[in-house]
Chains A and B, each alone.
Chain A
């Protein structure tokens, strides 16, 4: 991981400004490419921007388990000058590295490719275990969606992480409450995630996933893991007609919606 907390952007710009710029750039990228999955990208962009700009150190690793939020990851890397506007123009196009879900083996900051849910956390456990076995410094951060906690592999990983005392592992759940075809409550009764994590012996905090100070504090709390953070978020955060609407898991923006969304962002 080459990104350092002391990157050039952070020396001149407050985080909130970086975030606003990034949100607008995310909308632009998805609009220009005619691509959906905006809701989940907007719900986790705050946490990714905070993690990458304020928390991640050279020796740390990050795994995006909710691979369908690749757009938010690409924009975060763009905000750090690791991807260019020319790169973003190719998002979802032919001959691109910026596929709809992160592709493997081309960029150090995209540690591992994901896309099928329930893979990121077990992979992150492997990374964390490797650091432990090799007695190497650094932490491993993993961002999951909430719906993907219906995957059994995540619970296997949670048992493993706890049993192996992977203290260098921090899990964040983008807890927006909406999944592909319903709410997480309707589909699988996943409104009690905190109790479930605690019952696995995983210390779990609940925070406002759009409060930048709370995010920074939660991500950077000293590693005494494995531990989890449930980040309460809104799907489609920042765009009134998208917020908490399931259809924005899928829909692309038309031009009118795009202009409206940008105007809303500017107002805020």
Chain B
């Protein structure tokens, strides 16, 4: 996704309001952007607090800055700068975190982002974009460029099966139909999971939705999604994020407000480091019951 992101930004790099800040990261991915943006590509060094405040100052003066780092270094380390300097002022700073969820695998907990959008969505004016597929990035970048508010873009690794056809980009997309439960998936895990779920017979195959823009709001829940929940009586939310502040909680709240109550609700989510051992992204997913095989077993 990082390369697709970089390619999408290269097309924007000549805009007069373009500025890209990186916290000394981007090796082997952002070089074309660095070349295209010239003096508007700024390596702000390993100093994320300053980088985020500088981005706020740039945005105050009418520029549209992007600030990039490994995910936790852009939302956790400079959280107060995001809160006070960006969000309280409602400035159009775009934070980009590479490695959503357990994507950094065996690099360890310091590099994981399993509570990122929960934290950020609790801040005023903040929007979050979680691409599920690399092809989501060009339309998402176009949208982010236009957005006059703070936003966070959570990048991961594309897991789309080659033969999975996608409809045009939309924040809510239904990608599988069947007579099984209703499944809502957030993030790139959608690719692997859809690859597994589509093998189920129609009687068990879930109506599978992919959500890519947050927060979840009562008024933006698609009618077709609500219809699927009512028909199936079972909603499962899948996200590589802890339960607190996650999409599962937000959806449950919205459904309660709308008076829609599925008879059964499942939440597949990140659970930290249960065994206290570390491994690949798939190792951590498996440990939390988030691997496609585990979910298939539960829902199939």
Q: A104 CA to B87 CA in the complex, in Å? A: 10
Name the A residues within 8 Å of B61 (CB-CB).
126-127, 130-131, 134
Taking a contact as CB atoms under 8 Å apart, the answer to whether B84 and A124 are in contact is no
Taking a contact as CB atoms under 8 Å apart, the answer to whether A157 and B50 are in contact is yes
Q: A123 CA to B88 CA in the complex, in Å? A: 13
When A and B form their complex, what is the total count of cross-chain residue pairs whose Cβ atoms lie within 8 Å?
98
Taking a contact as CB atoms under 8 Å apart, the answer to whether B89 and A126 are in contact is no
Name the A residues within 8 Å of B62 (CB-CB).
130, 134
Within residues 61 to 91 of chain B, which ones have a CB less than 8 A from any CB in chain A? 61-63, 80-81, 84-85, 88-90
Taking a contact as CB atoms under 8 Å apart, the answer to whether B58 and A130 are in contact is yes
Instruction: Report if A119-B58 is in contact (Cβ < 8 Å); known contacts: A105-B90, A125-B53.
Output: no
Taking a contact as CB atoms under 8 Å apart, the answer to whether A112 and B56 are in contact is yes
Q: A118 CA to B210 CA in the complex, in Å? A: 41
A interface size (C-beta, 8 A) = 30
Name the A residues within 8 Å of B59 (CB-CB).
126
The reply to whether the CB of A149 lies closer than 8 angstroms to some CB of chain B is no
Name the A residues within 8 Å of B267 (CB-CB).
none
The reply to whether the CB of A11 lies closer than 8 angstroms to some CB of chain B is no
The reply to whether the CB of A143 lies closer than 8 angstroms to some CB of chain B is no
The reply to whether the CB of B57 lies closer than 8 angstroms to some CB of chain A is yes
Taking a contact as CB atoms under 8 Å apart, the answer to whether A116 and B84 are in contact is yes
Taking a contact as CB atoms under 8 Å apart, the answer to whether A126 and B60 are in contact is yes
Taking a contact as CB atoms under 8 Å apart, the answer to whether B53 and A119 are in contact is yes
Name the A residues within 8 Å of B39 (CB-CB).
133
Q: A151 CA to B62 CA in the complex, in Å? A: 28
Name the B residues within 8 Å of A131 (CB-CB).
61
Name the B residues within 8 Å of A112 (CB-CB).
56-57, 60, 85, 89
Choice from A111, A130, A160 contacting B50 with Cβ under 8 Å: A160
Taking a contact as CB atoms under 8 Å apart, the answer to whether A126 and B45 are in contact is no
Q: A128 CA to B42 CA in the complex, in Å? A: 14
The reply to whether the CB of B19 lies closer than 8 angstroms to some CB of chain A is yes
Choice from B45, B81, B84, B90 contacting A160 with Cβ under 8 Å: B45
B228 to chain A, nearest CB (A): 42
- Who on chain B is nearest to A152 by CB? B49
Taking a contact as CB atoms under 8 Å apart, the answer to whether A125 and B88 are in contact is no
Taking a contact as CB atoms under 8 Å apart, the answer to whether A126 and B54 are in contact is yes
Instruction: Report if A156-B47 is in contact (Cβ < 8 Å); known contacts: A116-B84, A126-B54.
Output: yes
Q: A131 CA to B44 CA in the complex, in Å? A: 17
Among B53, B60, B84, chain A packs the most CB atoms within 10 A around the CB of: B53
- Who on chain A is nearest to B43 by CB? A163
B interface size (C-beta, 8 A) = 28
Name the B residues within 8 Å of A126 (CB-CB).
53-61
The reply to whether the CB of A129 lies closer than 8 angstroms to some CB of chain B is yes
Instruction: Report if A130-B47 is in contact (Cβ < 8 Å); known contacts: A113-B89, A119-B81, A123-B85.
Output: no
Name the B residues within 8 Å of A133 (CB-CB).
19, 39-40, 58, 63
Taking a contact as CB atoms under 8 Å apart, the answer to whether A122 and B88 are in contact is no
Q: A130 CA to B88 CA in the complex, in Å? A: 20
Name the A residues within 8 Å of B60 (CB-CB).
111-112, 123, 126-127, 130
B37 to chain A, nearest CB (A): 11
B246 to chain A, nearest CB (A): 28
Name the A residues within 8 Å of B90 (CB-CB).
104-105
B48 to chain A, nearest CB (A): 8
Name the A residues within 8 Å of B54 (CB-CB).
122-123, 125-126, 129, 157, 160
Taking a contact as CB atoms under 8 Å apart, the answer to whether B57 and A159 are in contact is no
Name the B residues within 8 Å of A165 (CB-CB).
none
Taking a contact as CB atoms under 8 Å apart, the answer to whether A104 and B56 are in contact is no
Name the B residues within 8 Å of A100 (CB-CB).
none
- Who on chain B is nearest to A128 by CB? B57
Name the B residues within 8 Å of A122 (CB-CB).
49-50, 52-54, 57, 81, 85
Q: A122 CA to B80 CA in the complex, in Å? A: 13
Taking a contact as CB atoms under 8 Å apart, the answer to whether B47 and A119 are in contact is no
- Who on chain A is nearest to B87 by CB? A104
Taking a contact as CB atoms under 8 Å apart, the answer to whether A160 and B44 are in contact is yes
Q: A112 CA to B45 CA in the complex, in Å? A: 24
B31 to chain A, nearest CB (A): 21
Name the A residues within 8 Å of B49 (CB-CB).
118, 122, 152-153, 156
Taking a contact as CB atoms under 8 Å apart, the answer to whether A113 and B84 are in contact is yes
B300 to chain A, nearest CB (A): 51
Taking a contact as CB atoms under 8 Å apart, the answer to whether B89 and A124 are in contact is no
Q: A111 CA to B60 CA in the complex, in Å? A: 9
Taking a contact as CB atoms under 8 Å apart, the answer to whether B58 and A129 are in contact is yes
Q: A66 CA to B123 CA in the complex, in Å? A: 23
Choice from B40, B45, B57 contacting A124 with Cβ under 8 Å: B57
Taking a contact as CB atoms under 8 Å apart, the answer to whether B50 and A156 are in contact is yes
Taking a contact as CB atoms under 8 Å apart, the answer to whether A130 and B63 are in contact is yes
A-B contacts, 8 of them at CB < 8 A, read A122-B53, A122-B81, A123-B56, A123-B60, A125-B54, A126-B60, A130-B61, A160-B45
* Chain B contact residues, CB within 8 Å of chain A: 19, 39-40, 42, 44-45, 47, 49-50, 52-63, 80-81, 84-85, 88-90
